[in-house]
Structure 1
Amino acid sequence: MDNLFLFTSQYPEKRGDGSFVKNEIEDLAKNFKKIYIAKLHWNKDIERYKLPDNVEVVFEGFASRKEIVTKGFFNFSSIVPFFLLLKNDFFRIKKIKHIKIFFIAFLIGRGLASSSKIKNILKSNSSKDMVLYFFWGTGMSYILPWIKTHKHKVVTKLHGGDLYVEVLGYIPFRKFILNRVNTIITISDSGKNYLYNYLKKLQIKNKKIATIKLGTFDRGVFTNKSENAEQKIIVSCSSIIKVKRIPFLFDILNELANSKKIKWIHFGDGVGMRDLIKSIRKFKNNNLEIELKGYVDNNDVINFYKNNHVDLFINVSTSEGIPVSIMEATSFNIPVLATDAGGTGELVGDSLKTGKLVPVNSSIEKIVKDINTMLFLEYDNYTPREFWMQNHDARLNNIKLIQTLKNNSEKII
């Protein structure tokens, strides 16, 4: 395979999947003659990552929902797939909101398929010359029912929300898309096990599944101890949305601060930021110092780790794929406390010497007790960087990704 057609959500914009794709693109560019990028969302005001010379964005995405509706309805793509997809999904649509999700996917797929640039690239590159790589199993993947892929090899990567159907209750075009792709990449062993059983349930056979864990690059490690031995530095990094439970994390650290001096630094923004700030102003303990950094570029997070001692990284999500934020923390030898959501258990645990894994439904009191144990009794027991070096070095994982994209070496179910 000489060329790659990469379908993303936001990359190369510095938001969304931008930081994830960035960890792959340099190595991909070295191994493919030409890389075309089509992305789903477009915002002219967002800063972009610099692209390698042989990488070109050929479809900028939709700037608004209105544009999705307009381009989805008013084009000359065949309407026939609509009825086939509706028949396929009819018994999976169980709520009113699922109908809305179905029609949004329908509009996105037809809108993407109307792009002359996308169609011309598919036509001008034979199946032997180019592989189609969908970074997500939703979003851009909705184009698959509407285009002729000319027998190209199709690879999709599944993470969390685009893998575990229970998260949303319904994922549109699921059976069609999984039938069409040749190779499915999961980012965790738990994801692979889930997918294996899910494919059997859908009676989909002869699919290749590769588990290729996400990774981060080695930026060294900050080794100095904190200048303030009395105050412990705890960091979290995520969007402030429901499943991330940042208000719950605030309650945990507020309780912890009843007996210890804590500084909490959170990287990330989201729809819950305003309510979080209100709670902090109303209930914050005087022993708890808080810095809400809001949205920052991933490089800024990395630079913070490179120049500051951190005692603990914490994640209390109810749903995850396999968190890159935890990988980044462990690469700097920062112990982690995290809830057992998605593939997090493949990153965190006493047996891995990376930190403590707690049940998702753990109480505030239970988590506070575990944090105290980690910080004051077992801190020197953890060697998270050693685990990261063996499992989540992006350079090593990218080699496997490129092999998977270029050939069919994975075992067939």
Structure 2
Amino acid sequence: MRIALLTNAYPYHPGEQFIEDEIEYWGRDPLAHVTVLPAVARGEARPVPNAVSVDLCMANGTLPARLFAMWLALFSGTLWREWNYLRRAGKWSGYTVARALLHTSKVIAQARSLRRYIRRHGEIDVAYCYWNDTQSYAALLVKQAGGIRKVISRIHGIDLHEVRKPHNYMPLKRQFIHTYDRVFTTSGAARDYLQETYGAAAASIAVSPLGVPLARVLSKPSRAGVLHVVSVSFCLPVKRLDRIVEAMQLFALRHQEIAITWTHIGGGPLLGDISRLAAERLSGIGNISFEFLGAMENDAVKRYYAGTPVDVFINVSESEGVPVSIMEAMSAGVPAVAPDVGGISNLVSNQCGVLLGKSPSSQDIVRAVETVAFGEEKDVLRTNARKMVEENFDSERNYSGFVATVMAIGAH
């Protein structure tokens, strides 16, 4: 069966580390002939299984091709339908009009690239789109004309929640969401949001959680009188990292007898701003140190937990799916403190960490860290964190099942 896996950049950098775990299961199925088609390909590629190939037909389009697609978009029914939606929804503005044009042109350009790929290599049985965005819409256009039999898509957070988009505008999704053979959400909350916000049909949606390999070596707690807090995320406004800084300041002042280290892993456009804020707020406090390790490879993060005592993992994002970063920490036995947004409540609870409210204050975060670090049940929380991942987010179970489901869709 010919499977086309459409990605943003994988196997190239940056991001999409989660595919690194899943792709191994695709490589194990002898009936699946998988080709990865990234939209962007720069620098050195990450290794893929021997059974998986990579084709760059959709990557790094030329300026003339992009301009031609923009011209075609002006005469596209997709664009005019989207502009009509913007008027009806009261979202008409210079920004949204231009965004609709840009996204329509991307869909057209990517559909043209897919058609060229099909002319060279033959029909695609299943186009598996890792993101519910322009590449998946392009695959749907090609399917309508012939050349792709089935189109499925995962949907996560940034490609689901309108609040994470400027002007609260998610381009084109309402036009295409009804035409997938299956859309896989990471949680029941995401499924409900997809139905309520975009009108997706319940029968076309399935919940398929991501997963992580179970850590072979668990992270150890710090020795008495020491506390190590870790956060992992791309540095964006939606991650609310300034609240972690404020909470660490308050916690250090409240517990001056404890030697505290806060480690943040992850790059992004706000890394410099958050680093400066941490220096401003924390540098003068004698019992706390902090470090920003920047972007790290997925395997390096796993090794970090295995070789470094970690007591608490913190996430305070305002919008999430079911974060793999939290799964990885909990797999290593680290309890998490995280807000009740997106599908986080499927992963974090007061039995394996602390589930915060949707918009926790620095005081809320401090109390949660105190519970995890000093509470009578702190050892139980570590055990339960690992158990939660074993029972619900084990990559062996989740990805093997997902591959089997997709293969069954392609067989019909």
Whole-angstrom CA distance in 1 between matches of 2:220 and 2:175: 53
2:188 aligns with 189
**With structure 2 as the length reference, what TM-score do the two structures score?**
0.88
Whole-angstrom CA distance in 1 between matches of 2:269 and 2:62: 19
SS at match of 2:49: coil
| Contact map agreement 1:23 1:394 (CA 8 A) in 2 | yes
| 2:100 maps to which of 89, 99, 102 | 102
* Cα displacement (A) at 1:223: 5.3
Which amino acid in the other structure matches residue 281 of structure 2?
A: F
Superposed counterparts of 1:103-118, under 5 Å: 103-115=101-113, 118=115
Which amino acid in the other structure matches residue 315 of structure 1?
A: N
CA separation of 1:336/1:261 partners in 2, compared to 1, >3 Å: closer, same or farther? same
2:369 aligns with 371
* Cα displacement (A) at 1:271: 1.2
2:128 aligns with 133
| Contact map agreement 1:321 1:343 (CA 8 A) in 2 | yes
- The answer on 1:244 being equivalent to 2:235 is no
Whole-angstrom CA distance in 2 between matches of 1:231 and 1:255: 16
* Cα displacement (A) at 1:206: 7.0
SS at match of 1:338: strand
* Cα displacement (A) at 1:408: 4.4
What root-mean-square deviation, in Å, do the aligned CA atoms of Structure 1 and Structure 2 show?
2.6
2:316 aligns with 316
2:300 aligns with 300
Which amino acid in the other structure matches residue 130 of structure 1?
A: D
| 1:303-360, Cα deviation, whole Å (9 max, x unpaired) | 111111110111010110110000000100101101112111111011xx22001113
1:41 aligns with 40
Aligned residues: 396
Whole-angstrom CA distance in 2 between matches of 1:158 and 1:364: 31
| Contact map agreement 2:73 2:104 (CA 8 A) in 1 | no
| Contact map agreement 1:241 1:270 (CA 8 A) in 2 | yes
* Cα displacement (A) at 1:106: 1.3
| 1:17-61, Cα deviation, whole Å (9 max, x unpaired) | 1x1111111111222432122212232x2x322122232222365
Superposed counterparts of 1:361-400, under 5 Å: 361-377=359-375, 378-382=377-381, 383-400=384-401
Which amino acid in the other structure matches residue 12 of structure 2?
A: E
Which amino acid in the other structure matches residue 357 of structure 1?
A: L
CA separation of 1:87/1:95 partners in 2, compared to 1, >3 Å: closer, same or farther? closer
- The answer on 1:344 being equivalent to 2:344 is yes
SS at match of 2:28: helix
SS at match of 2:53: strand
1:6 aligns with 5
Whole-angstrom CA distance in 2 between matches of 1:74 and 1:157: 30
Unaligned segments of structure 1, at least 5 residues? none
* Cα displacement (A) at 1:76: 11
Identity %: 25
| 1:68-115, Cα deviation, whole Å (9 max, x unpaired) | 733533779984544345445553444432222212211211221232
Whole-angstrom CA distance in 1 between matches of 2:192 and 2:170: 19
Superposed counterparts of 1:142-161, under 5 Å: 142-144=137-139, 146-147=141-142, 148-150=145-147, 152-161=149-158
Unaligned segments of structure 2, at least 5 residues? none
SS at match of 2:55: strand
CA separation of 1:145/1:225 partners in 2, compared to 1, >3 Å: closer, same or farther? closer
| 1:148-192, Cα deviation, whole Å (9 max, x unpaired) | 344611101111121223432222221332122110100111111
| 1:108-152, Cα deviation, whole Å (9 max, x unpaired) | 11221232x6434278544xx611111111132241464234461
1:286 aligns with 286
| Contact map agreement 2:7 2:130 (CA 8 A) in 1 | yes
CA separation of 1:406/1:78 partners in 2, compared to 1, >3 Å: closer, same or farther? farther
Superposed counterparts of 1:166-177, under 5 Å: 166-168=163-165, 169-177=168-176
- The answer on 1:73 being equivalent to 2:70 is yes
Whole-angstrom CA distance in 1 between matches of 2:112 and 2:20: 28
| Contact map agreement 1:6 1:135 (CA 8 A) in 2 | yes
CA separation of 1:67/1:231 partners in 2, compared to 1, >3 Å: closer, same or farther? farther
* Cα displacement (A) at 1:280: 2.4
Whole-angstrom CA distance in 2 between matches of 1:347 and 1:340: 10
| Contact map agreement 2:316 2:339 (CA 8 A) in 1 | yes
* Cα displacement (A) at 1:257: 0.7
CA separation of 1:164/1:119 partners in 2, compared to 1, >3 Å: closer, same or farther? same
CA separation of 1:278/1:88 partners in 2, compared to 1, >3 Å: closer, same or farther? closer
CA separation of 1:313/1:76 partners in 2, compared to 1, >3 Å: closer, same or farther? closer
